[in-house]
A and B are shown apart, each in its own frame.
Chain A
Amino acid sequence: MSDKMHIKLNVNGEDHEFLAEPRDLLIYALREKLNITGPHVGCDTSHCGACTVTINGKSVKSCTMFVAQANGAEITTIEGIGQPDALHVLQESFREHHGLQCGFCTPGMITRASKLLEENPTPSEEEVRFGMAGNICRCTGYQNIVKSILAAASELNAAQEAAE
């Protein structure tokens, strides 16, 4: 049983087609079949958020989704948010405000934060903490992560106002 399935994903604007077993978890398909290694395997139990990606407009822990469920979906990972030579405002802000130390949780943090700011461009500190509650950091603590996201929100809003 369980023949391989033909899977189609659009990841960061690019179409991919490959064969996978339905039981393959999305995080492993992204990392091992597509070589998209920004999303990390942290706890592998849907607690830590290091594997967070955006799927059809939802922040999802990709360790708790079968690749079969994602078949046909549009996915954004950290690779689709910014590039080393063109950082996203959130990435610049994490660097500026020391929002990371070892960096392991950072792709999930920034991917989740980008969706949070899309849904709520002017969050309070409490709303940032509540909205980021599905992501765990084991080294810097959360103070600077929250500071980074609030600063990025201000900057994005200032840029928005300047454009109008």
Chain B
Amino acid sequence: MIPAAFDYYRPKDVEGVIALLQEHGDDARVLAGGHSLIPMMKLRMAEVPHLIDLQDIAALKGISIDGDTITIGAMVSQHELINHEGLQSAAPILREAALQIADPQVRYMGTVGGNIANGDPGNDMPGLMQCLDAQINLLGPDGTRTVAARDYYEAAYMTDREDDEILISISFTAPTRGYAYEKQKRKIGDYATAAAAVQISKLDGKVAVASIAMTNLSDIPVWSQGAADELVGSTCDTATLKAAVAAMLGDIDPTEDNRGPVAFKRHVAGIILTRAITRAWDRA
């Protein structure tokens, strides 16, 4: 498969990227790891007359842990995320989730920023970022601005980012101990039939704070405050799990596709969330 021809750019700094985006408007796209964009270009479902490769921009790389604030550059790969020791202790849910994305080769190339910015409902990082209440840092012609991950997604492939902005990094407060990322997929490399990100903190033997987000069960990630509220003050007993699942099912809106009919997806979503809460509680 051969994509349509394009002009290729590899700027050295973010200013160069913004200048190209301003010059070419929506005829230009940035290329991170390319494992979503290049297949779409090969299928000619995406035509990109001006392709801007971000690989040489040092400012988009690196992971920093400053006190309890974690910042991850847009061009950090899933492979780097998985192998970062500081992150493993500060926010282990990231590694657990990243290990369930695609396959080893794709994880060397696939980036955190690409996964978040792409807006594909099947991507795992958007729901995870909503669970962590991450802030998404964007850079445009007028400087930087920050959008909460929970406000970032508008519809499939539609986000709050403007055409002349790029996602430069994400940041979030290091989460408290109990965590789980649980994902049901048909095979390696597939997107989730259903996935759940759960963070739980415990106080005096009960849930103090909880956050729950679901992936690929709507056209955007679903942060379910209702499900989390059910957990607070409980010991994650069976009745509480059922109530949390019921609340979550009220928030998702899956559609039928080759991963199954709606009833099946709702069934899987319930099982996946139950497993995720149980594991997060055990770790809390």
Contact = CB atoms under 8 A, between A and B. Distances in A.
B188 interface: yes
Of A5, A22, A45, A65, most buried by chain B (CB within 10 Å of CB) is A22
Instruction: Using C-beta atoms within 8 Å of the partner chain, give the interface range for chain A.
Output: 20 to 34
B162 to A, nearest CB: 25
B108 interface: yes
Interface stretch (A54-62, A77-85, A149-157): A54-62
Interface stretch (B4-12, B119-127, B150-158): B4-12
Given A69-B55, A134-B189, A44 B1 contact: yes
A47 B6 CA distance: 24
B5 A1 contact: yes
A49 B108 CA distance: 13
Interface string B232-256: 0000000000000000000000000
A124 B182 CA distance: 23
Contacts of B55: 69
A29 interface: no
B105 A49 contact: yes
B35 interface: yes
Given A1-B49, A2-B5, A23-B2, A69 B31 contact: yes
A21 B3 CA distance: 11
A4 B208 CA distance: 60
B79 interface: yes
B25 interface: no
B271 interface: no
Contact of A133 (B3, B8, B109, B188): B188
A87 B156 CA distance: 49
A111 B31 CA distance: 26
B104 A134 contact: yes
B77 to A, nearest CB: 8
A69 B34 contact: yes
Contact of A22 (B39, B42, B51): B51
B103 A45 contact: no
Given A1-B49, A45-B39, A65-B109, A134 B8 contact: no
Contacts of A71: 10
Contacts of B109: 58, 60, 64-65
Nearest to B77: A58
Contact of A5 (B1, B8, B103): B8
B268 to A, nearest CB: 21
Contacts of B34: 64-66, 69
B105 A59 contact: yes
B1 A23 contact: no
Contacts of A64: 34-35, 38-39, 109
**What 5 pairs between A and B have smallest CB-CB spacing?**
A134-B103, A22-B8, A2-B5, A58-B108, A134-B105
